[in-house]
């Protein structure tokens, strides 16, 4: 086979593998969240598991050295690893589902911490085999190129890296913007598996055609690698580039949510921009790969300054609209592109220099880089962001770049000026937290939480990673009082999922019943004193229980039953992961935790009528009885769902059921001064459920496989045409 043709095949294989690998990552992560909960620690463990391409080291050892097998043999092993990825990749959903059932079968023996570690270990076990096989592809492909075309194998890694990154960028965009909306999560996974299997077959076919170079003709000196001392330094630099790139991705995701929102498309855009910039840098390296002397002069402090420029682009004082998606993408691009392009340039350069085309050394270099990529999210998410402001966490990650120098004569010049520029940026720039004077800020591994105090209760605000989540509103009181009043018997216990400002929790406590509230972000309940003076005292009440966990995961593990369950997911209704609190599967869990005659209250903003119909259809399919009421302030809807009839009771009767403290709570912020009038206004806003469903007869019930509210790009674009 001709060399150009063979190298084109390798480029295609790595492009396609990058494409379906990102599809695997997106779908597996979402399935893991559905099975075990939306928990930051578990997400970090998932990402670390996915990056665990340490199998590349073992594959590199197997095919390194002068006695390594030929190209055909390396390709057969390469095909086998791709086939293993397809087999185990298709099995991951079943493994995750079985893990949930297995752990819940022993539910009474797990406390929250032990369940977390057990579920995290299960996710790791489900992913490790396909991920290790993915990592093994690199040295196997390099081995095949080296034995067939030893004179051109020195830059083999950079060429394959280029193709893989380009495919990954397209995979991130295609999965988020097209495939999941059209085919659902499992249909998209089947598509990735088909592409994966086809790639394995094509590689096996190539192994039958590629030229076999006799062992006696294979030049043992084809690989010229770095000396031992410099080799150790290169491995350290590869760990740094992997760690810094992934750590900054976590930090960028947090600081840019204030400008771009929390949509799945936002994350897909960040990931695609990250990969596209990496591709551009790798392409620039490939274009200059022949200049070996220039390759070694890496301006590390300037790369650090490129990352520190994020401090400038997140400054809200820039003349860029804070609410414009275009302006947000501009800010993001100016932060991500220069730094990631630089990493895309230096990473393949370092691997090529360390390995000299030796697949054994390629495997070692790639494994060290992946180890850095595993450490990066853990460093940012658990060691820096919970304790440091985002700007300082970013500078800590970048500090090694300012320390590094290339030539002794240029060291001070290269180090001092970028360092001074970064220090100046840290001093003169502002970020989201500078926008308010009377504020309380708390940080944890999940989020940065800002509570804004004000003299008027309506002006108090709560921000989570820069996103305004709720306000002090009578609607959040109605969420609790309405189902408690319609309960067929005096309620004894209630559950609130999503704490927010604590209004719904406070309203439920006004009934004097045992109240459990579940909140994902540990810092949020601690802010209740900013919004309610009696909040800290209520939290200390023996009737109150605050659980820091994912709401769905709590329902899965809990064995308690509740007379009322109140669900108020934070806005926007299209937020990434929000469908897990609106889906049929979630409602099935909630139904099992309701006491006989118990009522679920689901709040929905109703900004998208099609999504509203999808939620209504999911409730109808899981509950025998569903009633819908418009919000007392005119925006949003209260769904009440139960397996028992929900009585139609006049407002005057309901008003007499209110305990005195609950009545005061209901009327605290109006809009009426009398309980009978306020309840009458609520009941008058009832809507027929069938009316919501008839308006959108083709809209499916929202479920885990088709998160209708989150993936809307195609249907909205088609509606505009």
Residue 453 located in a structural domain: no
Of 508, 457, 459, nearest to 481 by C-alpha is 508
* pLDDT score recorded for residue 34: 85
Is 457 among the domain residues? no
Asked if residue 246 and residue 179 are part of one domain, the reply reads no
How far, in Å, CA of 161 to CA of 154, rounded? 13
Q: Are residues 56 and 157 in the same domain?
A: yes
Residue with more model confidence, 627 or 158: 627
Beta bridge partners of 604: 637
Average pLDDT of the chain? 87
CB of 214 closer than 8 Å to CB of 151:
no
Lowest mean pLDDT among 228-232, 460-464, 488-492: 228-232
- 148 pLDDT band, cuts 50/70/90, is low
pLDDT tens profile 410-430: 455 556 889 999 999 999 999
Q: Please give the structure tokens belonging to residue 487.
A: 């309960």
pLDDT beyond 90 at 94 = yes
Instruction: Determine the pLDDT at residue 158.
Output: 77
Tell me the average pLDDT across 639-647.
97
- The structure tokens listed for 105 are 């079968």
Backbone angles phi, psi at 627, to 5 degrees: -120, 150
Do 14 and 137 have their domain in common?
Answer: yes
Residues 515-537 pLDDT 10s: 999 999 999 999 999 999 999 99
Q: Which of 191, 215, 239 is the last residue of a domain?
A: 215
pLDDT above 50: residue 222: no
pLDDT recorded at residue 329: 85
User: How do residues 301-326 score in pLDDT, each as one tens digit?
Assistant: 999 999 999 999 999 888 876 667 77
Query: pLDDT tens digits, residue range 684-721?
Result: 999 999 999 999 999 999 999 999 999 999 998 887 76
Q: Domain check: are 249 and 297 in the same one?
A: yes
Note whether residue 466 is domain-resident: no
At 268, which CATH number? 1.20.1250
Q: Is residue 454 part of a domain?
A: no
Assigned domain for 483 exists: yes
Q: Is the pLDDT of residue 357 over 50?
A: yes
Do 662 and 564 belong to one domain?
yes
**587 and 475, same structural domain?**
yes
Among 112-121, 274-283, 353-362, 634-643, which is the least confidently predicted range?
112-121
Higher-pLDDT residue of 568, 207? 568
For the ranges 123-127, 148-152, 163-167, 419-423, the lowest mean pLDDT is seen at 148-152
Read off the DSSP letter of residue 410: G
Is 707 within the bounds of a domain? yes
Residues 678 and 649 in one domain: yes
Q: Which CATH number characterizes residue 194's domain?
A: 1.20.1250.20
For residues 135 and 80, membership in a common domain is answered with yes
> Mean pLDDT throughout 66-82?
76
Same domain, 144 and 100: yes
Which pLDDT score is estimated for 113?
Answer: 62
Closest of 181, 15, 131, 125 to residue 699, by C-alpha: 181
Q: Are 155 and 244 found together in one domain?
A: no
Q: What's residue 101's pLDDT?
A: 84
Q: Is 345 a residue whose pLDDT tops 90?
A: yes
Q: Domain count of the chain?
A: 3
Write phi, then psi, for 74 (nearest 5 degrees): -60, -40
Backbone Cα Rg of the chain? 28
Question: Is residue 512 predicted with pLDDT exceeding 70?
Answer: yes
Answer with the one of 162, 190, 215 that is the final residue of a domain.
215
Instruction: Look at residue 548 and tell me whether its pLDDT is greater than 70.
Output: yes
What's the whole-number mean pLDDT along residues 137-165?
A: 74
257-267 average pLDDT score = 83
What is the rounded CA–CA span in Å between residue 289 and residue 679?
Answer: 74
Range of the domain at 411: 228-435
Above 50 in pLDDT, residue 215? no
Q: Please name the residues in contact with 305: beta carbons below 8 A apart, sequence gap of 6 or more.
A: 418, 421, 422
Unique residue bearing structure tokens 């598509």: 191
Q: For residue 184, is it left (φ>0), alpha (ψ between -120 and 50) or beta?
A: left
Whether 349 is covered by a domain: the verdict is yes
Q: What is the pLDDT of residue 661?
A: 97
Confidence of residue 1 (pLDDT cuts 50, 70, 90): low
Report if residue 445 sits inside a domain.
no
Q: What is the pLDDT of residue 296?
A: 57
Percent of the chain with pLDDT over 90: 56
Length of the chain: 721
Residues 149 and 261 in one domain: no
Check residue 117 and give left, alpha or beta (phi > 0: left; psi -120 to 50: alpha). Answer: alpha
pLDDT at 716: 86
Pair (691, 668) in one structural domain: yes
Q: Does residue 368 surpass a pLDDT of 70?
A: yes
Residue 536 is part of a domain; what is its CATH number? Answer: 3.40.50.150
HSE value, Cβ hemisphere, 13 Å, CA-based, for 367: 19
End residue of a domain, out of 215, 238, 255: 215
Q: Does residue 278 carry a pLDDT above 70?
A: yes
Residues 371-377, mean pLDDT to the nearest whole number: 89
Phi-psi region of 394 (alpha: psi -120 to 50; beta: other; left: phi over 0): alpha
pLDDT at 281: 93
């Amino acid at each position: 086979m001709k060399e150009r043709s063979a190298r084109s095949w390798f480029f295609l294989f790595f492009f396609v593998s990058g494409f379906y690998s990102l599809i695997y990552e997106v779908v597996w992560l979402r399935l893991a969240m559905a099975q075990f909960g939306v928990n930051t620690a578990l997400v970090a463990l998932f990402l670390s598991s996915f990056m665990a391409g340490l199998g590349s080291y073992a594959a590199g050892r197997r095919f390194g050295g002068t006695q390594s097998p030929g190209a055909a043999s390396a390709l057969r092993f390469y095909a086998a690893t791709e086939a293993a990825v397809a087999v185990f990749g298709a099995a991951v959903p079943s493994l995750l589902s079985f893990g949930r059932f297995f752990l819940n079968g022993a539910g009474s023996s797990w406390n929250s911490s032990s369940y977390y570690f057990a579920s995290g270990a299960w996710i790791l076990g489900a992913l490790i085999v396909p991920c290790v096989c993915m990592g093994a592809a690199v040295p196997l492909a390099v081995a095949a190129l080296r034995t067939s075309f030893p004179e051109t194998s020195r830059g083999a890694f950079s060429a394959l890296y280029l193709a893989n990154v380009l495919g990954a960028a397209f995979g991130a965009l295609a999965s988020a913007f097209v495939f999941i909306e059209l085919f659902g999560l499992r249909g998209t996974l089947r598509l990735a598996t088909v592409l994966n299997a086809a790639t394995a077959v094509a590689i096996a076919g190539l192994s039958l055609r590629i030229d076999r170079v006799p062992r006696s003709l294979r030049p043992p000196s084809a690989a010229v690698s770095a000396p031992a001392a410099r080799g150790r330094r290169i491995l350290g630099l590869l760990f740094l580039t992997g760690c810094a790139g992934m750590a900054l991705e976590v930090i960028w995701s947090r600081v840019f949510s204030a400008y771009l929102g929390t949509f799945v498309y936002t994350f897909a855009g960040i990931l695609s921009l990250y990969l596209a910039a990496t591709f551009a840098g790798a392409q620039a390296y490939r274009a200059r790969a022949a200049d070996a002397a220039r390759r070694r002069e890496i301006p590390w402090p300037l790369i650090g300054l490129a990352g520190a420029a994020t401090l400038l682009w997140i400054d809200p004082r820039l003349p860029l609209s804070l609410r414009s998606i275009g302006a947000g993408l501009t800010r993001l691009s100016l932060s991500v592109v220069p730094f990631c392009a630089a990493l895309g340039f230096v990473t393949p350069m370092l691997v090529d220099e360390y390995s000299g085309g030796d697949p054994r050394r390629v495997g070692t270099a790639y494994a060290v880089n992946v180890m850095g990529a595993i450490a990066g999210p853990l460093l940012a998410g658990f060691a820096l962001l919970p304790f440091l402001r985002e700007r300082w966490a970013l500078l800590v990650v970048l500090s090694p770049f300012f320390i590094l120098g290339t030539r002794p004569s240029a060291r001070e010049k290269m180090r001092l000026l970028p360092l001074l520029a970064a220090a100046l940026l840290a001093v003169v720039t502002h970020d989201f937290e500078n926008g308010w004077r009377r504020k309380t800020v708390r940080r944890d591994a999940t989020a940065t939480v800002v509570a804004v105090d004000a003299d008027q209760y309506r002006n108090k605000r709560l921000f989570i990673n820069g996103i305004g989540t709720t306000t002090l509103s009578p609607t959040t009181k109605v969420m609790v009082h309405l189902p408690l009043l319609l309960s067929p018997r005096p309620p004894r216990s209630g559950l609130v999922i999503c704490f927010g400002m604590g209004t719904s929790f406070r309203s439920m406590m006004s009934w004097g019943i045992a109240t459990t509230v579940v909140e994902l972000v540990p810092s949020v309940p601690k802010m209740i004193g900013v919004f309610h003076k009696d909040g800290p005292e209520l939290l200390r009440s023996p009737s109150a229980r605050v659980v820091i966990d994912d709401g769905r995961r709590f329902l899965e593990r809990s064995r308690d039953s509740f007379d009322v369950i109140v669900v108020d997911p934070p806005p926007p209704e299209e937020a990434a992961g929000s469908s897990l609190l609106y889906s049929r599967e979630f409602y099935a869990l909630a139904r099992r935790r309701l006491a006989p005659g118990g009522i679920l209250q689901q709040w929905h903003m109703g900004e998208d009528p099609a999504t509203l119909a999808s939620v209504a259809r999911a409730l109808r399919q899981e509950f025998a009885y569903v009633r819908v009421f418009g919000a007392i302030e005119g925006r949003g809807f209260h769904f009440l769902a139960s397996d028992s009839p929900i009585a139609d009771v006049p407002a005057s009767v309901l008003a007499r059921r209110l305990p005195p403290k609950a009545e005061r709570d209901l009327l605290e912020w109006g809009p009426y001064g009398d309980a009978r009038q306020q309840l009458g206004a609520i009941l008058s806003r009832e809507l027929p459920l069938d009316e919501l469903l008839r308006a959108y007869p083709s809209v499916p019930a929202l479920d885990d496989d088709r998160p209708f509210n989150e993936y809307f790009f195609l249907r909205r674009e088609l509606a505009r045409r």
